[in-house]
Amino acid sequence: MGKYILMLSLLLLSPISFYSNAEAPTVEQPTAPQMSPEKQKLLGLPVYIRIIKEDKTLELFVKNQGGYKLVQSYPVCNYSGGLGPKRIQGDFKSPEGFYQVTMKSLNPNSKFYRSFNIGYPNQYDQAHGFTGKHLMVHGDCVSEGCYAMTNKQIAEIYQFIEYALINGQPEVDVNIFPFRMTEENMQRYSHNVHYEFWQQLKTGYDFFEKNRLPPTMVVNNGRYDLAPQGLLASNHTQDQRNPFAH
């Protein structure tokens, strides 16, 4: 009888012992970005994002004292599909082209920590019948067509974009290029199937390199073109005061 009572006691206690010793699942809680005082002073100023696929680099520019100046280059943790534009939903390819981020694009509660939707498909993509949705720049270093950053990186990038939008920038340009579009690189890829498309992207790339202002692009007959100069001037006229600087 005593043996049965002992066995029953062990059975009853075993689950309690098991759960009390089991480790609770841990969830990574990314820390807020430790931004330098110099960067903090730039929060709220207009922002421009440029991604270079071949370099796996995201560049953050801020408009300060005239033109846009490079604040930080971040290594892209991951992207999908190699060089060339995204065309079909499910092709696991990361887009190239000219996109915009608005306040509605921001997701502070993303399952990838922070994310912003780049706005694919844009007018050009739609004109060519390209399909896809929910193309983001986000954290967690995992990509199935998006541009993935580390959580620490996306926290800082996200904050710059959010503050710029709060301060009145209507949209943040996100320009995505396959490579740095120098004449040498264009020659290197001159036989690529995407070369004609890349020539259109180069127009915007060169505009920024020359003027240090994001290009305003329009779509004419299914092609990217620079907008008329009058529209460019009005698009880039903005109050440069920064209420967030300390």
Task: Exactly one of 128, 138, 141, 246 is catalytic; name it.
Answer: 138
Q: Cβ distance 89 to 141 under 8 Å?
A: no
Among 88, 153, 148, which residue's Cα sits nearest to residue 118?
Answer: 148
Q: Cβ distance 150 to 77 under 8 Å?
A: yes
Task: Exactly one of 77, 146, 191, 236 is catalytic; name it.
Answer: 146
Among 125, 149, 123, 120, which residue's Cα sits nearest to residue 135?
Answer: 120
CA distance 55 to 64: 26
Query: What region, left, alpha or beta, does residue 131 occupy, with left being phi > 0 and alpha being psi -120 to 50 degrees?
Result: beta
Respond yes or no: is residue 77 known to be catalytic: no
Respond yes or no: is residue 191 known to be catalytic: no
Give the bridge partners for 219, in sequence order.
224
Active site amino acids: 138, 146
